[in-house]
Amino acid sequence: MAGGGFAVDKPVTGINIDGKLTLSIIITCVVAASGGLLFGYDIGVSGGVTTMVPFLQKFFPEILRKAVGTEVNMYCVYDSQVLTLFTSSLYLAGLVSSLAASKVTAAYGRRNVIILGGCVFLAGGAINGGSENIPMLILGRIFLGLGVGFTNQAAPLYLSEIAPPKWRGAFSTGFQFFLGVGVVAAGCINFGTAKHTWGWRLSLGLAVVPAAIMTIGAFLITDTPSSLVERGKIDQARKSLHKIRGSYVDIEPELDELIKSNEIAKSVKQEPFKTIFKREYRPHLVMALAIPFFQQLTGINIVAFYAPNLFQSVGLGHDAALLSAIILGVVNLVSILVSTAIVDRFGRRFLFITGGIMMFVCLMAVSLVLAVVTGVHGTKDISKGNSILVLVLLCFYAAGFGWSWGPLSWLIPSEIFPLNIRSTGQSIAVALQFIIIFVLSQTFLTMLCHFKFGAFLFYGGWVVVMTFFIVFFLPETKGIPLESMYTIWGKHWFWARFVKREDGQENHP
């Protein structure tokens, strides 16, 4: 029980929620998890497109001149604030829509917000594919960001609420799995279209495909029982439970527990954004802020966004750089499958800690290799062999992220909050993630130019901090029903001082 970890394998309320898998729940969760395709496709496509010669000729000719020249430091070729704005503008829009999604999901349900996000994302993909100037590019990115903000808030909530407690971890990692599929699919499309003058249009425009798949699928599934109860639709919630748990299962105890939790939540007549700042919800709020903050400071999304730029900068050719980004995505995807298979057996903390150690070692090694072979100022050429070594190290790094901070950063915020502030907590987590992604994506290429190999030391230092945070402050949540999640805080060495016991009194350890 290192660091105050705590695990419960059986529901503490005595309500036995059937953990058997039904075809309905598998299909439903797959559709919801496919929301990750949108975010993943964008992550994968944006970095590759920005290395395509026709795209640079049309929108960023000054970068193309630097790329073919020899007078620019290898780390500084893609240092352009306008280029990074093309990538990062999406995340400002996502910030806005993820905060708005808190009230929208509470009022209209998780499923309807997934549909809304898919429609808006589809419009953004169409605009980007037909762009003729930079303002059109940015407009399309804003629409994409609005769509991603809605789906990133609603889909993890949906998965956490719909899955049986025994399988919640596995199903919730599905969002990150589809995110990984989107990254790999985008990388393959970039690789296949890079040499065509219209290739960048196809890469950007095909964003409409994952949006259409998710949106059409969302029309065919039911909303979550928790959301239906929250909106007073008890009969629909009963039908939803029968559909996902199976007609042979007595769902009344689970429904009664949902109704009871909802009544308790509504008895406290406070604005959710005020309620979440109350002392008793301090542990939940800290996790909603810290986990997405730390996830971005692993550096993974920056590596994913700019992988082709990065690999081209360290000596790989254009085609090899795009292929390397695909390899990185495939490794990440396989590691997510590993996480899905073991997260409900070994627990969240084990994956967080082992993934953190692996990422730290790889980041330090990448920094050392670049420092030795390119020199302090990054002026020496890097051989193909050393470029491949950097790729291998980043593959191990991506694997460590894929079974830890990747899927678990979506899972933890979606499962720890009580119903009355669950949507608000998820919105805060997603919004903060977008803020950090925007800041980091807007500054990474400049940081790479000035810090050089030290950029990887920067992220490695943060990985140490976040791993110790998990060791000391995150209790284990595997196997615990959402309605019983409050128990983990009262038994934690640190958080017990903030929460209340079942008799309403505060703990004072």
Q: Is the residue at 509 inside a domain?
A: no
pLDDT at residue 223, as a whole number: 92
Pair 95, 131: CB distance under 8 Å: no
Q: Is the residue at 278 inside a domain?
A: no
Q: Could you report the per-residue pLDDT of 369-416, keeping only the tens digit for each?
A: 888 876 655 555 667 777 788 888 989 999 999 999 999 998 999 899
pLDDT at residue 12, as a whole number: 39
Q: How confident is the model at residue 452 (pLDDT cuts 50, 70, 90)?
A: confident
pLDDT at residue 305, as a whole number: 58
Q: Is the residue at 289 inside a domain?
A: yes
Pair 137, 88: CB distance under 8 Å: no
What domain range includes position 158? 20-268+285-497
Task: Indicate the number of domains in the chain.
Answer: 1
> CATH number for the domain including 351?
1.20.1250.20
Return d(Cα 250, Cα 238) in angstroms, integer. Answer: 10
Q: Could you report the per-residue pLDDT of 210-268, keeping only the tens digit for each?
A: 999 999 999 989 899 989 998 989 999 998 888 887 766 778 888 888 888 888 777 76
Q: Is the residue at 179 inside a domain?
A: yes
Q: Is the residue at 226 inside a domain?
A: yes
Q: Is the residue at 153 inside a domain?
A: yes
pLDDT at residue 10, as a whole number: 39
Average pLDDT of span 473-490:
89
Distances (CA, A) of 483 to 18, 227, 264, 419, 427: 15, 14, 11, 8, 19
Q: Is the residue at 13 inside a domain?
A: no
Q: Which two tokens stand for residue 37?
A: 């395709």
Q: Is the residue at 14 inside a domain?
A: no
Q: Could you report the per-residue pLDDT of 139-167, keeping only the tens digit for each?
A: 999 999 999 999 999 999 899 888 887 88
What is the 8-class DSSP label of residue 131? Answer: -
pTM metric for this prediction: 0.77
